[in-house]
């Protein structure tokens, strides 16, 4: 059970953004997608989720091209937290989280007691259960981000694709989120997440994938990937790499 791509080229309106990417997402791990703004991280995630169709090459889920799988089946395997989310009008937090059960409910979307229990426990897990009866439109950005996370967790998929899940969150909630991701990983979920903070990625993730201008540059464990050469080549950054005194993982410190 895994996502892989072969010679994947994908983009918008005939313009290729991600080019000839070949990779396999390591199963059972937390993988971070890194790269400068506009390098195609979101585009790659959307291709993983079958939102964008490949211009050439393929994305595979369990060695089957995504196009051959039904949307319904895929929605029980992969869940995506998009980078930006519209704000639905007049929807309560608990209703939004319940929308995550859609792949499992019937025609009218009725929730069984099991569904309701799952919705409740996901709200607890992301710490939004106290907001359950509030309108989504009345929340702060960080709160909304956690509500959406609860929504895709309610989908109960083995794979999670997260596009910048820490945006809008204060540092405390960012750390909490990384712990939540680890807890989910320990429950057996595979996580692929776009992160902005390289040190956060190195500290909390098992595997890093680095992209630049739509091309895959390198991938591996944080200590394999996080080098001064890589930072220079990809981010155009003069930085030193040191050992994090607390976790022992590599961290970069900008020189100038």
Partner 1 sequence: MITPSRFFLFSTLLLVFLALTSLSFGAVSLSFLDVINGFFEDSEHYFTIHEYRLPRTLLAIVVGAMMALSGALVQGVIRNPLASPDVLGVSHGAGLAAVLYMTFLPDASTNWLPEVALVGGLLAAIVLWLLCGTSSSAIKLAITGVAMAALYGSAIDFVLLVKPLEVNNALLWLTGSLWGRGWPQLTSLLPWLLLIPLGLGLAKHLNLIDLGDDSAVCLGTKPNIIRLISLATAVGLTASCVAICGPIGFLGLIAPHLTRRLIGGRHQVLLPATLFVGALLLVIADLVARTINPPIELPAGLMTAIIGAPYFLWLLFSLR
Ligand X SMILES: Nc1ncnc2c1ncn2[C@@H]1O[C@H](COP(=O)(O)OP(=O)(O)O)[C@@H](O)[C@H]1O
Q: Pseudo-torsion of CA 104, 146, 96, 150, nearest 10°?
A: 20
CA distance 147 to 197: 22
Does position 193 interact with ligand X (CB under 6 A)? The reply is no
Is 161 a binding residue for ligand X by CB under 6 A? The answer is no
* Sequence-separated contacts (24+) of 204-207 with Cβ below 8 Å: 204/30, 204/178, 205/29, 205/30, 205/31, 205/32, 206/26, 206/29, 206/30, 206/31, 207/26, 207/29, 207/30, 207/31, 207/32
Question: Should residue 40 be labelled a site residue for ligand X when binding is judged by CB under 6 A?
Answer: yes
Residue 37 interacting entry, from ligand X, Mg ion, partner 1, none, C-beta within 5 to 8 Å by type: ligand X
Should residue 17 be labelled a site residue for ligand X when binding is judged by CB under 6 A? yes
Given a contact cutoff of 8 angstroms between Cβ atoms, the answer to whether 159 and 189 are in contact is: yes
60 binds, among partner 1, Mg ion, ligand X, none (CB under 5 to 8 A by kind): none
Which of 19, 43, 126, 193 is the binder for ligand X (CB under 6 A)?
43
Q: Which residues bind partner 1 (CB under 8 A)?
A: 46, 49-51, 71-72, 74-76, 78-80, 82, 84-86, 88-92, 95-96, 99-100, 102-103, 105, 107-109, 135, 152, 155
Strands 15-24 and 3-12 turn out to be antiparallel
Residue from 22, 24, 38, 67 touching ligand X (CB under 6 A): that is 38
Considering beta carbons, is residue 42 or 200 the nearer one to partner 1?
Answer: 42
Q: Angle at Cα 19 formed by Cα 15 and Cα 20, nearest 5°?
A: 140
Task: Tell me if 83 contacts Mg ion by CB under 5 A.
Answer: yes
- Minimum gap (Å) between residue 100 Cβ and partner 1: 7
In the bound state with ligand X, the residue whose beta carbon lies nearer, of 211 and 252, is 211
Nearer to ligand X, 39 or 191 (CB): 39
- Residue among 78, 151, 154 nearest 114 (CA): 154
* ∠ CA 79-138-90, rounded to 5°: 75
Q: Report the partner that residue 43 touches, choosing among Mg ion, ligand X, partner 1, none (CB closer than 5 to 8 A by kind).
A: ligand X
- 127 in contact with Mg ion (CB under 5 A): no
- Biggest alpha carbon distance in the chain? 58
Q: Using CB under 5 A, list all residues that contact Mg ion.
A: 42, 83
Q: Using CB under 6 A, list all residues that contact ligand X.
A: 12, 17, 35, 37-43
């Amino acid at each position: 059970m895994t996502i892989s791509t072969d010679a994947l080229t994908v983009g918008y309106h005939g313009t290729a953004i991600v080019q000839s990417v070949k990779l396999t997402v390591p199963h059972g791990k937390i993988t971070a997608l890194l790269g400068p703004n506009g390098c195609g991280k979101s585009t790659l995630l959307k291709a993983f989720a079958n939102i964008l169709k490949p211009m050439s090459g393929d994305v595979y889920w369990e060695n089957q091209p995504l196009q051959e799988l039904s949307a319904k089946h895929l929605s029980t395997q992969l869940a995506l937290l998009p980078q930006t989310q519209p704000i639905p009008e007049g929807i309560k937090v608990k209703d939004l989280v319940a929308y995550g059960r859609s792949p499992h409910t019937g025609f009218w979307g009725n929730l069984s007691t099991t569904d309701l229990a799952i919705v409740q426990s996901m709200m607890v897990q992301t710490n939004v259960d106290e907001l359950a009866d509030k309108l989504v439109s009345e929340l702060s950005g960080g709160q909304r981000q956690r509500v959406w996370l609860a929504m895709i967790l309610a989908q109960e998929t083995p794979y999670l694709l997260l596009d910048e899940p820490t945006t809008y969150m204060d540092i405390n909630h960012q750390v909490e989120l990384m712990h939540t991701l680890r807890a989910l990983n320990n429950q057996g979920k595979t996580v692929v997440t776009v992160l902005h903070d390289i040190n956060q990625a190195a500290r909390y993730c098992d595997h890093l994938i680095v992209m630049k201008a739509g091309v895959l540059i390198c991938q591996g464990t944080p200590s394999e990937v996080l080098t001064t050469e890589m930072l220079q080549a990809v981010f155009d950054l003069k930085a030193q790499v040191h050992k994090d005194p607390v976790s022992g993982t590599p961290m970069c410190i900008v020189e100038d």
